[in-house]
Amino acid sequence: MRVLMLSKACLVGIYQSKLEAIARAGVNLLALVPPSWRDERGTQQLERSHTEGYQLRAIPIRFNGNFHLHHYPSLGRELRAFQPQIVHIDEEPYNLATWQALYLARRFGAKAFFFSWQNILRHYPPPFSWGEGWILRSADYALAGTDDAAAVLRAKGYRGRLAVIPQFGTSPQLFHPTESRSARPFTIGFIGRLVPEKGVGILLRAAAQLAGEWHLRIVGGGSDSAALGRLADELGIGERVTFLGQLPSPELPSQYHQLDVLALPSVTRGNWKEQFGRVLVEAMASGVPVIGSDSGAIPGVVGDAGLIVPEGDIHALAYALGQMRDQPELREELREKGRARFLTRFTDEGIAAATVAVYREMLG
């Protein structure tokens, strides 16, 4: 079968391992991505890390960085040349790129579906509500990243075929445990966007309550970077916190091997709650115990393979960090549970197999 995937997320090199797995399942896959994407962390350039067995092509983009209005002026030529049977639109239903891709799929006789992480029932003004409504009436299929996202689609009126499949899995070859541990103090990690909803300020305040030896490594960029550095100094822990900035995705697997625990203390906002928390899966795959808040999808991702604390609760997070530091047997138990949970639920091969099953269902 011939599948054209449109995905700005697949700029990220480690995400491309799922595309290799789809190709290994017998799919003739063309993945189209922009040359770069801009957001609050800066500009993400295309990384070509996993490109075996399929075509990965960068095409021009208009309104780069505008989540709702970006689109691809040469997309019609790509469909005409490739003649896909399925157009896999890795975008939300309220985006112009999704409308463009579905319209062109219809024009060239292909079936099409979209993907959604949106786990809050939000209503958009015209023209976004009009475009979203057309997508929900017209798409041949929908993928939702979580059960909550699926419920939102149904609440908005989507009545078509739907499957709950995370957008990406993680490669057990890229992310794996290590038995070697360099001499270091107990090390807490955060990897992700440095924005208010990710709760990094809460993590700094919780860590400041810990006595004894510890260190905090923060990987990522975003609008809060400078303010978080100042907060660490104000709390008197600046020398215990290392800000590593935004790193290329191929460097991330080794970062987990520097950690004794990963924390994701996300905080729900009026227009956002944690949609998945991919770093939790990467940490579990790497044999790193996790602590997450109870925001959005986090409890469902972690299950019994980590500790869950109330979002925004500094004292509860500090207590959980202390448990992880002072109870090596707890860390070992959660290391084993996390790796097992990853292998049964969140591998690239598993996500790819579920996605290819959708392709086959669509083609009858």
What CATH number is given to the structural domain containing 75?
Answer: 3.40.50.2000
288 vs 40, higher pLDDT? 288
Q: 214 and 81 in one domain? A: no
Q: Does residue 180 sit within a domain?
A: no
Same domain, 332 and 355: no
Determine how many CB atoms are found less than 10 A away from the CB of residue 244. Answer: 15
Residue from 56, 4, 14, 66 nearest 35 by CA: 56
Region 175-181 average pLDDT: 84
Look up the pTM and report it: 0.92
Look at residue 174 and tell me if it is in a domain: no
Examine the pLDDT at 182 and tell me if it is beyond 90. Answer: no
Mean pLDDT across the chain, nearest whole number?
96
Q: Is 352 found in the same domain as 341? A: no
Question: Where does the pLDDT of residue 179 fall: very low under 50, low under 70, confident under 90, or very high at 90 and above?
Answer: confident
Same domain, 46 and 164: yes
Mark whether 323 and 357 lie in a shared domain. no
- Is residue 208 domain-shared with residue 318, that is, in the same domain? yes
Range of the domain at 241: 187-345
Q: How many domains does the chain have?
A: 2
pLDDT reported for residue 264: 98
| 174: confidence class by pLDDT, cuts 50, 70, 90 | very high
The pLDDT of residue 40: 83
357 phi/psi in degrees, rounded to 5: -60, -35
Q: Do residues 86 and 99 share a domain?
A: yes
pLDDT at 183: 79
Reported as a pLDDT band with limits 50, 70 and 90, residue 42 is confident
- Both 226 and 315 in one domain: the answer is yes
Q: Give per-residue pLDDT as tens, 230-271.
A: 999 999 999 999 999 999 999 999 999 999 999 999 999 988
- Is the pLDDT confidence value at 181 over 90? no
Q: What is the pLDDT of residue 295?
A: 97
* 100/210 same-domain check: no
Q: What pLDDT digit, counting tens, does each position of 79-89 carry?
A: 999 999 999 99
Same domain, 351 and 318: no
Whether residues 101 and 248 fall in one domain: no
Q: Which helix (H) or strand (E) holds 102?
A: helix 96-107
Q: What percent of the chain has pLDDT over 70?
A: 99
> Which one has a higher pLDDT value, 134 or 179?
134
Say whether both 88 and 111 belong to one domain.
yes
Long-range contacts of 292-297 (CB under 8 A, 24+ apart): 292/263, 292/264, 292/265, 292/266, 293/199, 293/264, 293/265, 293/266, 293/267, 293/317, 295/266, 295/267, 295/268, 296/119, 296/148, 296/266, 296/268, 297/119, 297/145, 297/146, 297/148, 297/273
